[in-house]
Structure formats: C-alpha cells, structure tokens
Structure 1
Amino acid sequence: MRLAGPIRRAATFWRRSIQARVVVSTLLLSAAVVTLVGWFLLRQITDGLVAGKTSASVADATRGAYEAQVRLEASGTEFDSGTQLAQLVASIVARGDVQGYDVVLDGPVPGSTQGLATGSGTRFSPDISTDSVPARLREVVESTPGTSWTYAPIRYQSDSGIPTVPGIVAGSQITLPSDGGTYALYYLFPMTEQQETLSLVRRALLTGGVLLLLLVGGLTWLVTRQVVTPVRLARRVAERLASGRLEERMHVRGDDDIARLGTSFNQMAASLQKQIRQLEELSRVQRRFVSDVSHELRTPLTTVRMAGDVLYDARERFDPVTARSAELLQKELDRFELLLTDLLEISRFDAGAAVLDLEDVNLVDLALRVAESTKALADRRGTRVVVHRPDQPCVAEVDVRRVERILRNLFTNAIDYADGHDVDVLLAANEDATALAVRDHGIGLAQGESAMVFNRFWRADPARARTTGGTGLGLSIALEDAHLHGGWLQAWGEPGNGAQFRLTLPRRAGDRISRSPLSLVPADAATGGVGAGYARLDTPKARTP
C-alpha cells in the first residue's frame, strides 16, 4: 500500500509528460545501440587478441620443440636419459619464466623404447598442475608427429595461490638420443595478459557507454525542453482561458514554428474572446429584454385581468357566444399569467439571481402532498398517481418550494401523457443521495427526444392537446432547480412504453453525488432504453431560447 501512491504518481507523470517519454525512449534506444556496438567491438577485440596469442603460442611451441630436439641431438649419448631430460627441462623452464609459459614433459610414449627407460616420468614447471594438459591432446600428441594445440584452462597447484586462467596448450614429440625413446613436450601459455586487456576494454566500454547515455539523455532533455516548454505554456494559458480569464496570452519570441504557433494561438484566443464577449452581451440583452418585457406586461395584464374578471362574473347575463368568449378569455389570461411567472423565473436563473431557502424535508411527505394536489387533474384524465413508500425516510436538505415545483411539473407531465395508465412514483435513498422517479406508461419518447425534453417550449407531441395549461417551460425550470441543488434530473423513454424521469438530490446541500439510489431505466422496460432516446443530463445543457 505504501508503494501504491508513488506508483500511481509515476504512472500519471509518465502518461502526462511528453518530455519524459521522449527522453526515456531515446535512452532505451541509445542503450540498445550502445550495447550492440559494445558487444560487437568487444567480440572483435577478443577474437583479435585470442587469434594473435594463439598464432604466437603455436609458433613458440613449434620453435621450442625444434630447438629442444637440436640440443638433445647435439649432446649425443654422453649422458643418460634422466640427466638429459633434467637438463632439457631446466633450460626450457628458465626460458619460460622469462617468456611467460610453463612446460610439462611426459614420456616416454609406450612402445617407443627397448627395455626400461631411466628417464621415464613427468617433469614440469614449478607450481603447474599436470592435469592442465587435456587427455584428448595427450592422445593426439603421442600418436601424431608435429605440433598439436588446444584451448584449455591452466591450473596450478593449490598451495601456489595462483588462480586458474584460460590458456593455450601446445604439444610436440621429441626423441631422446640416450635411450631412443619418444617423449611428449607440452607448452602451456596462460592468457593472463589478454584477460587483463579484455577487462580493461570492458571497463572502458562500460564507462564510455554510461557517459554517452548520460550525454544523449541530457541533450535529448534540452532539445525536447525547447519544444515542450511552449506547449506547456500554451496548456496553462488554455486552462486560464477556460476558467474565464480571457485576457491571457502567450509570450511569443522569434519567428520559428513554435513562435508562429504561439502567434496563431493568441489570434485564436483574441477571436474567441471577442465572440464570447459578443455572445455575453447578446445574452445579457436577451435576458434583460425578457425580464423587462415580463415586468412591463404585468401592468397591462393586471388591467386586462380586472376587465376579464368582470366579464367572467357577468357571463350568465350574456348570450351563449359572448359567455363562451368570456370563459375562453379567462382561461387564456390564466395561462398568460402563468407564462409570465415562468419567464420571470427563467430570467432569474439566467441572471444567476436564484437562491435556495434550505431545510430538511422528507421527500415522501412532499410527494404525497403533490400527488394529493394533482388528484383532481388525474381524475379528469382517468388515471391515478401511486406513491410507493420506501421502508426508510428519504430526508434531504432542500428548498421545499423549488422541489415541490419540480415534483408538480413531473407529476402533471406524467398525468398528461399517461393515456389512462397509472403513474408510479418511486423513492429511495443511500448514504449521500435521495432519489425520486416518476414512471408513466403512455406514449413514451422517441430516440433522441429524451435529450430534448428539457429544452424550453419543446413538446413530445406538438399535435397533442395541452390539458394542464402548461407553458412549455416547466421541465426547463425543473432542470434549473435540480442543478441549483447540485442534483440530477434525467429522462428515459421508449415509444409506446412510457417514460421515466428521475430526480436525484444530495442529502446535504453542497455534497457531490456519485450514484443515484434508483435506476434511470425502469425494471419493466423491454429494451432498457437501448435505441430509445436514453439521456443522462448531469450537467446544465445548452439553453434553447
């Protein structure tokens, strides 16, 4: 668990940093190239050293065997075989101490002498181990004239303290004049100097490779920094622009591609700032226009309302046509007044002047109260609003007036499109949220319509008679009220299978909602909303004027 945090931070840094990825990738590729080149050079040097040592060792062994044979023939038969061999080995060992090789003299070869040879046995340089001569080489030398050689580890006696080293063992036959026997003379050439040279070369290659990688990494970091730094500055400026600081610009130096990119970026930012300012001004003028018109219409509406009330109260004294006109006038005046009220509320949302009056309330009680207030409408439409009470209370800190307005809009909208079926109201709560879902089984929503249902003045069926006297702004205001609480208002629908609207509110004002206690797609849905206009409106959507 202690490593999880650093690993996540390292992974995040690797994912976000182009410079780190470029530097590391360059280092890895450079390391592979340096390793390959170093291995090739080391192989070439090793082969050269071994080949040179081998040719020199074989030549020395051949020449030494020839000189030893000449020396033996020159001494003739004046000495016995033991004395001749002792003198020979002593001279060769003395020369080997100077030239850096060891000697092993073995013999005579079986069948090469008549009778017992007085010089039989093995003679060798001090500290050398006779098993350094491979058995296979012994067989070849004893059976074949000339010089034979092989690579073999050269071992020394344990009390000498000299470690085993790789070397070359070369052997030749010599003939002893005193007894006519054939002896095997082996020269052992240790490659100690070559081994030290290769160790030095390895250290040099390793040191040079590390220094080269550090140099390549530093150069790559410097080069990529020249490219990445302007990109990072552009990112920071873009973030500031996104946060609303539209006056931010990049500092441009020079005339290269990066400088031209910065100039283009600044031109784009200036153009966006100009357009955003224009849109903000246009939006401000539009909101001001809606607000002014709504307020200015209050006075004539009040006058017309007074006249309409007089006509409506006296309709019984009018002829049937005039009486009907008075009733229609009263109905349209009610709707006009409701429209003005909704327009004023929308203008408050647009101006950012809407505030919450929070208190703890049980949404179950609120749903029952709204269901009771819409019972007369449900009766006229031949339907019922059924509130399914949960086992636990669904308490949330909300503005009662605004949430009640949301529920009233959802209930009346469901009643209007229920087509005589019952409207089910579901409630649930979890540790951080409270949810209410309104399910109708009417005409439903076609594909894409659930993303449009919260648009202002939008209707699912424009040809359908509006029985509830709505203005087309109810769901838009409900969505704004939900967002003002920090909640969600979402819609699901299928053609012919009804629709479901889900309101999710945080239990405490200001808390974030991670999940809703209720599913947006109802359990009795045939397709789960696939292809049926499923929409998740977690954030305020673009407003349609």
Structure 2
Amino acid sequence: MRGLRSAARAIVRMSSALMRTWRRSLQFRVVTTTVLLGIMVVSLLGSYLYNEIATGLQDDRIQTSEYEARALTTQAQDQWDSTTATTVQELNQAASDIMKSKLTPPGPEPSRYVVMLRGVKNNSPTQLNALESGGLGLSAVTRDIREKVAADPTHQQTMVSDVLIDGRQVPAVFVGTGVEVPGAGRYDLYYIYPMLQELRTMSLISTAFGLAGLVLTALVGAVAWVVTKQVVTPVRRAAEVSERLASGKLNERMPARGEDDLALLGTSFNAMADSLQSQIRQLEGLSRVQQRFVSDVSHELRTPLTTIRMAGDLLYDARADFGPVTGRSVELLHGELDRFESLLSDLLEISRFDAGAAALDTAPVDLRGTVAGVVAAAMPLAERRGSTIRVVAHGPVEAEVDERRVERILRNLVVNAIEHGDGKPVTVHLRAGDGAVAVLVEDHGVGLRPGEASMVFTRFWRADPARARTTGGTGLGLAIALEDARLHNGWLQAWGEKGQGSRFRLTLPQKAGESLTSSPLALSPGERT
C-alpha cells in the first residue's frame, strides 16, 4: 500500500512538472504537438497500408488456392474414372492411394491439408471411410463450408476461417468441391490452405512498419526541435532584452543578422527600443524640469507666504474692528491662507518623493494607538457631518513603521471617508497576520464608479469636481498616502460601488524592508483573505 502511494505521488509530481514545462516552454509544446501528430499520422498510414497488404495477400492466397484445388480435383476425378475397384475394400484402398499420391503435398510442413467426406446428399448404400491428410483432423471442416458445398455441388466453394495448428489458431483458406466415386456416389473434397507464410510476412511487415514509424517520428521530432529552436531562440532573446529594458537598462539591444523575418523582428525591436529610450530620456528631462520647478516654486513661495500669513493673522485678530463685509473678507482670507499653506506643504512633500529624497524613520508601533489618535482628531469633523466612527481591532497590530507617515496615511483615509460618507457610519478595521498588518477604512456613502478605484490616487483627481471641500483638501492627500505606503513596501488599495460606499485598505509588512504576499483583511466584501 505504501509503495502504491509513493508511486502515485511520483506520478503526480511528474505530471505537475510536465504541465509546468508545457505552460512555460513554447518549444516543448511545438515539439510535443508535432510528435503526437506525427505518431497519429504514421499510425493511420501504417494501419491503412497494413490492411491493404494483408487484404492483397489474402486475395492472392484465395486465388492460388482455388486454382490449385481445381487442378487437384480434376486429377483425382481422372483417377476415379479409370479405377477398376468395385468392392468397398478396393474403393477405400483406391481412395487412400489417390489421397497419398495426388492430394497430399510432400515435405514435413504441408502447404495444404485435404479431407474427404461423404457428400451430405449422398444416398448410396456403399460407404467409404473418411480420409484426411496431415493430421489436421476431420473436425477442421466446419458446418458452414459443408452446407455451402451441398447447396451448390457444381461449383467450388471458398471461405476463410481459423484452424487449430500446433496449439494456435491460424487463418486458412477452405476450398470445397467434390468427386464422383464409381459405385459409391458423391464424396466431398475439402482443401485447407493455412496462411502461415502470409502470417510471417505480415509479422515482418508489422515490425518494419513499427521501426520505421519510430524512426520517422523521432526524425519529425528532431526536425521540429531544430526549427522551433531557430524561431524560439530569438524570441527568448527578445524577452530577455525586454526584461532588461523594463529594469531600466535602456542600452540593451537584440542582435539582428541576416535579412529574414527574425532579423526583421530584431531590427524592428531595436528601432522600438531606440524610440522608447529617446522618449523616456525626454520625459525624464521634462520630469526633472517639472520637479525642479515645483521644488523651486514651493521654496520661493515660502518667504512671501510667511509675510502674507503674518499680515493675515494681524487682520484676522482685528476683524472685530472692521465692518461686516470687511470682517467676512478677512475670515475668507484666513481660510484660504490655510489651504494655500497646506497645498504648499503637500507640493514640497511630493517633490521630495519625486526626487527620491524621502526616507523612513521606523520604530515598533502598535497601530491601534495610531488609529485612536487619528480618530480623536477627526471626531469634530465627523460630528459636523453627522457620522460616527467605530474601530474594530482584532488583537495587537504591531509593526516596524514610520509612525508619522502612517498617521498621515490614516488621517487622509479617515477624513476622506467622513467627507464622502454622507453622514453614515465609518468603520476602521485593524488586523495582523502572515507577516503583515492591515488597516481598512470603510464608509457607506457615495462610493466609486467603475474604473475610479485606480484613479483616486492620481494627483489632483476628484470624483466630483463640483463637490465642495469642507476640510480644505489639496487634492494631493491620497497621492502622498500612496507614496508613503510604497516607501514602506506596502499596499494602498481602493474598492467601491456606486451608492454602496467605498473601502480603502493599507497593508504594511510587520518587519521593515520585507515584502508582502497577502493582506490580513479583505478589500472587497466578497474577497477571501
């Protein structure tokens, strides 16, 4: 039993390895398919030829047997016509002499067997002994051939059936005819021609066909392997060069030799790579200019903004001394200065990400405390919007993170849920497991339309441009949150349905620098973790 289980496991492993090779290797698929089709074609063609040859040999054997049986019967009838025997004993002796001298072939392995039997419709009172040559036995003559001879005694009757020779069944040609014995009536002669030579011939042909089929299939497989190698090798080389290009090695190129289709593929691929390299370098240059511009503008605006802020604060503190219109204008100015200062800070943060200057300051943190702080800070906004915030924590949620950046991510998610929750409850889920921690913020508000889940992290993108920002958002909060998550080797993902609400899930590795494979919390309601 243990041996069977081991064999079964070995078969399963081998099958899995073959399936992996089948999925991954185009060359293996082409060669295997070609060999299988070759085996099928060779088998069909071999079977057809085998059957045609066997039919031809059998037809030839039947024709030869009929001709030989007719000649032997004529000789036997001539002997009977010239006999002077009259008594039963003399007639039996004559029949035996004719069987031995005329009908029995010489040699140890007879080419035919002959059986003489009294005719089915013979009513003569004189009865001769049944005779047979070669020791085949009288029972070898079947009822079918006897009935055919009795039904039409004027013509030879032929059929093919099996006979038992040396303990094995051998196909044989049966030819039935008859002679008139003087004074004893009609006696039937049955000639049995075993097709032993034909069997040996067909066995030789079968062996030759099998060997030829194996050699031909192997040659077809070898040809398919060589041909596919010539095609697959450049394709694999193109895939390798593509991977290196994708990794940032823009100077990689394919070798292109000759003038065939594969050379054209290499030339076209290299031209595409040159074009991509040129455009990427242009885009990199434009990106650097843009980043430098944003950074420079953000820094340059700091000084005048500080001056404007000081003046605005003075006006705001003295707004009670102004008239209603002027006082309201000062309040609006103060609010817009807050938004402008937040926007400037976000632009500076984005520029640091673009420049690759952002760094983590990690430490062990239980995210339950971080979430509690974020929820407490967002409670005034939630109360104004009529929302409640519920935190559901499944045990300790500890990880090595930069708490300042994680708090900024969670603040953006919670505020975003309150703003778009239409006054409905907001739930924050926390869980740790499988080397990761996850925080999921769920609301039941307007939700997201199809395709918007991948756009919410785009800079300055808004689902509804006409929707008012009650908290003075800059449009960069979720973009910065995504960069903060990526800085931790984490995921920040969104899901939503129109009118059903939305979910934002932050997943971070528990150990700094490690990679994620799964999240402890499901993003969508029907997803399994």
**Fold shared by both chains (TM-score > 0.5):** yes
Structure 2 counterpart of 1:429, one-letter code: R
* C-alpha contact 1:386 1:425 (8 A) present in aligned 2: yes
Q: Which ranges in structure 2 are unaligned for 5 or more consecutive residues?
A: 1-8
1:124 aligns with 2:126: no
* C-alpha contact 1:169 1:187 (8 A) present in aligned 2: yes
Structure 2 counterpart of 1:287, one-letter code: Q
Give the alignment of 1:125-524 within 5 angstroms. Answer: 125-141=133-149, 144-156=153-165, 161=166, 163-177=168-182, 179-309=183-313, 330-379=334-383, 381=384, 383=386, 385-390=388-393, 392-418=395-421, 421=423, 423-432=425-434, 433-440=436-443, 445=448, 448-493=451-496, 499-509=502-512, 510-520=514-524
Partner residue of 2:95 out of 85, 90, 114: 85
> Deviation per CA, 1:175-209, whole angstroms, max 9, x where unpaired?
344x4443333322221111111212222222222
Report the CA distance shift for 1:73/1:317 in structure 2 as closer, same or farther (over 3 A): closer
What SS does the aligned partner of 1:437 have?
Answer: strand
Distance 1:239 1:341 in 2: 38
Deviation, 1:402, is 0.8
Report the CA distance shift for 1:493/1:138 in structure 2 as closer, same or farther (over 3 A): closer
Distance 2:233 2:488 in 1: 41
Deviation, 1:512, is 0.9
What SS does the aligned partner of 1:390 have?
Answer: strand
Structure 2 counterpart of 1:477, one-letter code: I
* C-alpha contact 1:383 1:418 (8 A) present in aligned 2: no
Distance 2:235 2:140 in 1: 68
Structure 2 counterpart of 1:171, one-letter code: G
Distance 1:449 1:64 in 2: 99
* C-alpha contact 2:433 2:520 (8 A) present in aligned 1: no
Structure 2 counterpart of 1:362, one-letter code: D
Deviation, 1:249, is 0.8
Q: Which ranges in structure 1 are unaligned for 5 or more consecutive residues?
A: 522-527, 529-535, 537-545
* C-alpha contact 1:436 1:502 (8 A) present in aligned 2: yes
What SS does the aligned partner of 2:298 have?
Answer: helix
Report the CA distance shift for 1:292/1:57 in structure 2 as closer, same or farther (over 3 A): same
Structure 2 counterpart of 1:366, one-letter code: T
Partner of 1:524: none
Higher mean alpha-carbon deviation, 370-379 vs 84-93, is at 370-379
Structure 2 counterpart of 1:91, one-letter code: S
Partner of 2:4: none
* C-alpha contact 1:367 1:387 (8 A) present in aligned 2: no
Distance 1:449 1:137 in 2: 88
Deviation, 1:502, is 3.2
TM-score by length of 2: 0.85
TM-score by length of 1: 0.83
* C-alpha contact 1:435 1:518 (8 A) present in aligned 2: no
The alignment yields a C-alpha RMSD, in angstroms, of 3.2
Deviation, 1:400, is 0.9
Structure 1 counterpart of 2:428, one-letter code: L
Partner of 1:102: 113
What SS does the aligned partner of 1:121 have?
Answer: coil
Distance 1:78 1:314 in 2: 162
Partner residue of 2:41 out of 28, 33, 45: 33
Structure 2 counterpart of 1:345, one-letter code: E
* C-alpha contact 2:495 2:523 (8 A) present in aligned 1: no
> Deviation per CA, 1:21-42, whole angstroms, max 9, x where unpaired?
3333333333333233222222
* C-alpha contact 1:104 1:187 (8 A) present in aligned 2: yes
Deviation, 1:368, is 1.7
* C-alpha contact 1:492 1:520 (8 A) present in aligned 2: yes
Give the alignment of 1:10-25 within 5 angstroms. Answer: 10-25=18-33
Deviation, 1:139, is 4.2
Deviation, 1:269, is 0.6
* C-alpha contact 1:403 1:481 (8 A) present in aligned 2: yes
Structure 1 counterpart of 2:459, one-letter code: R
> Deviation per CA, 1:138-190, whole angstroms, max 9, x where unpaired?
3444572453333232334xxxx46442212223323344x444333332222
1:48 aligns with 2:84: no
Report the CA distance shift for 1:429/1:187 in structure 2 as closer, same or farther (over 3 A): same
Higher mean alpha-carbon deviation, 407-416 vs 471-480, is at 407-416
Partner of 1:9: 17
Distance 1:112 1:497 in 2: 105
Partner of 1:543: none
Report the CA distance shift for 1:513/1:207 in structure 2 as closer, same or farther (over 3 A): closer
What SS does the aligned partner of 1:249 have?
Answer: coil
Distance 2:171 2:500 in 1: 89
Deviation, 1:54, is 1.3
Deviation, 1:349, is 1.3
Report the CA distance shift for 1:501/1:423 in structure 2 as closer, same or farther (over 3 A): farther
Distance 2:335 2:155 in 1: 130
Partner of 1:65: 73
> Deviation per CA, 1:92-137, whole angstroms, max 9, x where unpaired?
35545487222223348775544x55xx222222422221111233
Report the CA distance shift for 1:498/1:390 in structure 2 as closer, same or farther (over 3 A): same
* C-alpha contact 1:132 1:152 (8 A) present in aligned 2: no
Report the CA distance shift for 1:32/1:304 in structure 2 as closer, same or farther (over 3 A): same
Distance 1:165 1:3 in 2: 41
What SS does the aligned partner of 1:410 have?
Answer: helix
Aligned residues: 513
What SS does the aligned partner of 2:482 have?
Answer: helix
* C-alpha contact 1:414 1:423 (8 A) present in aligned 2: no
Distance 2:385 2:119 in 1: 128
Distance 2:450 2:198 in 1: 82
Deviation, 1:306, is 4.7
What SS does the aligned partner of 1:501 have?
Answer: strand
What SS does the aligned partner of 2:115 have?
Answer: strand
